[in-house]
Structure 1
Amino acid sequence: MFPADHPLRIANFRAYWLSRFAGTIAVSAQGIIIGWQVYGLARGEMGYSIERAAALLGLIGLVQFVPLFLLTPLVGLAADTFDRRWIVRGTTALLGVNAVMLGALTWGNHLSLPFLFLAAGFVGVARAFSGPAYSALAPNLVPREVLPTAIAISTLAWQTGTIAGPSVGGVLYAIHPDVAYASIATLFVVALALMFLIGPVPQPPAQSDRHPLQRILDGFRYVRRNRLVLAAITLDLFVVLLAGATALLPIYARDILHVGASGLGLLAAGMGIGAALASLLFSFRPMKHNVGIKMLGAVIVFAGAILTFGVSRWFPLSLAALIVAGGADMVSVYVRSSLIQLHTPDAMRGRVSAVSQLTISASNELGEAETGLMASLLGPVGAVVFGGVAAIAITLLWSRLFPELRLAKSFDPPEILETPPEHGVTQP
């Protein structure tokens, strides 16, 4: 099925890929369920208005973002210092315990808003440590000549799981809450077991001649100095921060499109379908040429699709818009992640991945807070429309401010760096 030199033919990478895919689906599915339960409690037992309940959905995102923001300097250093496999194993186990506890409280009808917010914060802490370790581990599992493909496939596993996870969670929760949480806990167990199948892998030795604080700052300096990496990271930050609509899916399902929990699952599945189709395409036909301009075009398509979803009152059109948005988002993430990983030396991948994760989380979790706040002020439709228009404007602005991104022809840098920039290496 795959060529002889394909990364998925390597046992360690195959276990890693399946583990990341299963774990990402589980944590994303858990996220949509937490949001649905918060909104349900707010609108039902608490009797909150749509606007006030929307603000709570935004706060869920903020609660997940705050620990990641505070821990970013430490988690990147940890991924460049300790065995990345054990970091992932530990966080996966903790996420599984969290899912079991949520399932038990749901089954016993003991859920409350404070506990849901506490569980969301716990997820934020675990994801803060696992994200950089997962991203930095992939290049250690394959030969250099297949590294671009490995990075792309690793990115596809994460992004497909991130987008498909909410659809899985919505559908399973519609069947029964106990089925949903039991399935999520099982996925975490599978992800953990697969991580234990990965044998010892090479990892660059930690720098003992530099103070940990200096090593932390080196990651931020590298991102700031490399304009291509900076452009790719910040574009995603602002676009998804403005145009993210995932946090409002419970509102659209319940009060705008009137399709209930089953409709919520289908709406969330829309982006998963689009991402899966794009993933399948890139698995067999990796992008090679004019990657920068294709990323910019994909971001504009994503924002336009979100704008269409925001104004739609017809369920099939809303679903189709989310499918397009998921596919376009996958193109953008594929290009961005490949550029970042291939333009970063291995000794710094953990720290640079932590900076990238911070912006991703800011665009997702903090974006949920922003969307919830805007929805409380403008209404859910007004918030989505505003975000879509603003994201298109940001993309056009970035194409002018960062010509390096627009002119990027391929993923390969002029020279693959293997030494951190603080030791005098010229930036690509």
Structure 2
Amino acid sequence: MVKKIVILGGSFLQADFISSAITRGLEVFVVDGDKDCYVSQWKSLTFSHLDFSDEVKLRSFCIEKEVDFIYAPCNEIGNLVSARLSKDFGYIYNPTEVVQITLDKSRQREIAKRCNLLHSPTYHVIDSMQSYANIPIKYPAVVKPISSSAGRGVTGVKNYAELENAIDIACEFNGYKNQIIIEEFLDGEQISIETISAMGKHYIVGITLEIIGSEPLFIERCHYMNINIHNLYCYRLNNVVQELLNLIGIKYGPCHIEMKVSGNTISLIEIASRAGGLRNRLMSLAGYPDYNDLILDAYLNHEINEMKIYPPSMHSLVNILLHPEDLRSVVLGKKDSCLQSLYLGNKGPVYDPKNLIDAYGYAFFCGNESLKAYSLEEY
């Protein structure tokens, strides 16, 4: 019998997972509050214009369609809704409490303190209206919402005079919890680790070197994958990743973990119980395993075939297009046949981009050798 899956969100960022579910032979229902979202006109699925944050309507929809599974590929609220409904319907999913931890940076910091191999940055949590005048903050520091993603509301500050504006910005994006966090600035290379788990067994399946823009906003500009990055970090980070996932209580599915590595010090930035945005396409170009296939295995088969996990064989790069001049990398990559795909959204560049939500497109590159010539870090 064909299994039915409800996927929460139909934007470009969810499209690759949706394609994988269709290719796997699942009957796919996509719900999104945007009636004109990226996949709304796809003939290979059933699209419903529904705000999936409305759990009452979503629950009725799942009952009506008699679905076997519900999943949010890269949406924080959708992830939490999926956990709640999965418990009610008996679907395999991480418990709601576990998902809530991965939406709360302060709880992640407390868990990181219990990890023997992790450095947990010093931090202070304040309510958005709470006075911060007497908090002993060491500068430089980073101010961010307790619960946010894509760099929304994140600001670096060098002194007390910059703190009030940074707190105001963070308060605009505090979403799931009405609190913000002020923590020490972390030096080092920023690495993201993609994992897959089934029955509480965890595997590292992809490692990314993230190139970050300058302060105060620290916007991600481009992401690299290749065998050198994999070999440098996979073995070194494996034990700390295993310990972290076990302490949080992850049992199933993907996780996206961001860390800073400086010398012998490994620091946690944050962890999300979902796949990182754009990672499956970047992994595929690098020659990593099909991440979406592994995710479906974890949730539908409840196990991972270790033969499907292997290191990359190519170099891959994604540029996050924020400024008009970023398109120069696209022109160069196309001329040299390294440009693999280009996505441009319905909006052009914004005057003053603040986070990843302001990106107007993504350019993917692949090659046998270094792709640094096409990277936005050159500009």
TM-score w.r.t. the length of structure 2 is 0.30
If each structure's helix is expressed as a fraction of its own residues, which one has the higher value?
1
Higher RCO, 1 vs 2 (CA within 8 Å, ≥6 residues apart): 1
TM-score w.r.t. the length of structure 1 is 0.28
